[in-house]
């Protein structure tokens, strides 16, 4: 009946690490609402993060407690290892209600479990943890002490297990396939939406051996003037002679992402885009090859900045971030960033997406490499020529 993706032992090790971090911070109870963190700790899966749901980790209770909408209770029963008494579905009248809030129900659970006077932490800046959630839980549990538990689980999951690395490698094969599909299909006169459709088809059908999962971010593929900003998707216009096309696509296996970005130029693209593309590729390669375990996240950015200094181009944003397991709307993990001031020590098993994109007023270039930190350096997950793709 249960459809576990990892062994119960691996899940419980993650829970143990989370409890250790909580104890170190003086936290008794952590309410986890980020869908990726819920999945990481319990296996919970399902597109139900559009209603309030979460898992509660308490130092004194072995398993996490799941709470969510009644109709999603069977998803908890099917996709997690949790015992029945640790699954708390709420009635449907809590959904989009003007008179009651699901966090009143959460408060009831905590009271029932004797946790209402404890030190309770919440993921204060996580997706789907709204201001109203915090206001409601604080109102309902006046004797509790509240702390900020944002990113506690995210920092636990920054170092991946061998199984997790294998998952990202499977995702990488899908990412390469998606990129090949886009490259093969994009041409002058082809509709952008038809290419996006083929990219999705490649992402989800996966390989003969395994299928793909929905990505935390839609295919980002602006063309023309729209490449002056990185987060636009397709339109139903056709590609035109001289267009620059940014392709930031991902492969996804069991919610583990491998994102990959390349930039294409069609026909008579400007010299500026060609120069920008060469600069980005050179800086990316230098930074990637310079990585050694023990370096700081900011050191990686320094290699990039030094390499491109001579070009005259300037990048005023981070060049990468920790990535892996995630649900919409982001495949980034919100922990380490490759940028000045980030003192995170690079450790084998950490996985990053290095994407030093540069966007100017009328065009932009994204070229990226997802990689894992190894004992010796950085191993890229993907193998796709690291240059502007010309057609």
Rule CB under 8 A: which of 42-101 touch a copy of itself? 45-50, 70-75, 78-79, 91-93, 95-96, 101
The sign one gets for the Cα dihedral 269, 270, 272, 274 is positive
Nearer of residues 15 and 38 to a copy of itself, judged by Cβ:
38
What would you report as the CA-atom Rg of the chain, rounded to the nearest whole angstrom?
22
With H, G, I as helix, E, B as strand and everything else as coil, classify residue 26. coil
Selected range binding a copy of itself among 7-15, 40-48, 110-118, 276-284, rule: CB under 8 A: 40-48
87-90 β-sheet, strand order: 87-90, 65-69, 54-58, 29-32, 119-122, 145-148
Size of the site for a copy of itself (CB under 8 A): 86
Using CB under 8 A as the binding rule, whether residue 7 contacts a copy of itself is answered as no
* Least distance (Å) between residue 374 CB and a copy of itself: 24
Distance, C-alpha 111 to centroid of its chain? 33
Using CB under 8 A as the binding rule, whether residue 220 contacts a copy of itself is answered as yes
* Least distance (Å) between residue 40 CB and a copy of itself: 18
Instruction: Please name the residues in contact with 353: beta carbons below 8 A apart, sequence gap of 6 or more.
Output: 259, 320, 321, 323, 331, 332, 368, 369, 370
Q: Which of residues 332-391 bind a copy of itself (CB under 8 A)?
A: 332, 334-335, 337, 339, 341, 357, 359, 361
Note whether 182 and 195 are within 8 A (CB): yes
Q: How many CA atoms lie within 13 A of 330 on its CB side?
A: 13
Cα 82 from Cα 124, distance rounded (Å): 25
Pairing of strands 332-337, 351-354: unpaired
For residue 305, which of 296, 314, 297 has the smallest C-alpha distance?
A: 314
Question: 298-337 mask for a copy of itself (x: CB under 8 A)?
Answer: ------------------xxx--x------xxx-x-xx-x
Using CB under 8 A as the binding rule, whether residue 217 contacts a copy of itself is answered as yes
Exactly one of 41, 171, 202, 372 binds a copy of itself (CB under 8 A); that residue is 202
Q: Which of residues 229-288 bind a copy of itself (CB under 8 A)?
A: 229-236
* Least distance (Å) between residue 165 CB and a copy of itself: 20
Q: Which of residues 148-187 bind a copy of itself (CB under 8 A)?
A: 148, 150
* Least distance (Å) between residue 289 CB and a copy of itself: 24
Q: How many CA atoms lie within 13 A of 24 on its CB side?
A: 9
Beta bridge partners of 359: 364
Exactly one of 84, 85, 131, 385 binds a copy of itself (CB under 8 A); that residue is 131
* Least distance (Å) between residue 276 CB and a copy of itself: 15
């Amino acid at each position: 009946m249960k459809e576990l993706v990892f062994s119960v032992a691996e899940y419980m090790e993650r829970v143990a690490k989370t409890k250790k971090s909580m104890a170190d911070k003086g936290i008794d109870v952590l309410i986890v609402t980020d869908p990726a963190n819920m999945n990481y700790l319990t296996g919970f899966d399902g597109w139900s993060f559009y209603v309030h749901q979460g898992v509660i980790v308490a130092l004194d209770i072995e398993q996490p407690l799941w709470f969510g909408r009644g109709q999603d209770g069977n998803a908890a029963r099917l996709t997690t290892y949790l015992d029945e008494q640790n699954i708390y579905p709420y009635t449907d009248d809590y959904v989009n209600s003007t008179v009651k809030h699901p966090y009143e129900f959460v408060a009831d659970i905590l009271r029932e479990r004797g946790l209402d006077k404890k030190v309770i932490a919440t993921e204060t800046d996580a997706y789907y943890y709204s201001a109203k959630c915090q206001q409601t839980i604080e109102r309902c549990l006046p004797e509790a002490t509240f702390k900020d538990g944002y990113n506690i689980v995210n920092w636990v999951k920054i170092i991946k297990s061998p199984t997790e690395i294998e998952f990202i490698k499977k995702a990488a094969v899908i990412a390469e396939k998606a990129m090949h599909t886009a490259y093969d299909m994009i041409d002058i006169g082809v509709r952008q939406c038809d290419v996006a459709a083929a990219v999705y088809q490649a992402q989800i059908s996966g390989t003969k051996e395994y299928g793909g999962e929905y990505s935390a971010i839609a295919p980002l593929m602006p063309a023309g003037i729209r490449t002056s900003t990185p987060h636009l998707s397709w339109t139903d216009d056709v590609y035109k002679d001289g267009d620059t096309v940014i392709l930031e696509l991902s492969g996804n296996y069991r919610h583990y992402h491998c994102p990959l970005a390349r930039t294409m130029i069609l026909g008579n693209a400007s010299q500026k885009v060609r120069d920008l593309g060469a600069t980005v590729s050179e800086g990316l390669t230098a930074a990637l090859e310079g990585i050694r375990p023990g370096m700081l996240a900011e050191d990686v950015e320094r290699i990039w900045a030094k390499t491109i200094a001579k070009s005259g181009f300037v990048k005023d944003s981070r060049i990468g971030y920790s990535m892996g397991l995630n649900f919409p709307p982001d495949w980034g993990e919100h922990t380490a960033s490759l940028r000045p001031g980030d003192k995170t020590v690079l450790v084998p098993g950490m996985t990053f997406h290095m994407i030093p994109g540069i966007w100017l007023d009328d065009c932009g270039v994204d070229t990226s490499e997802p990689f894992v930190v190894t004992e010796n350096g950085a191993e890229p997950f993907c193998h796709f020529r690291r240059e502007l793709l010309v057609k």
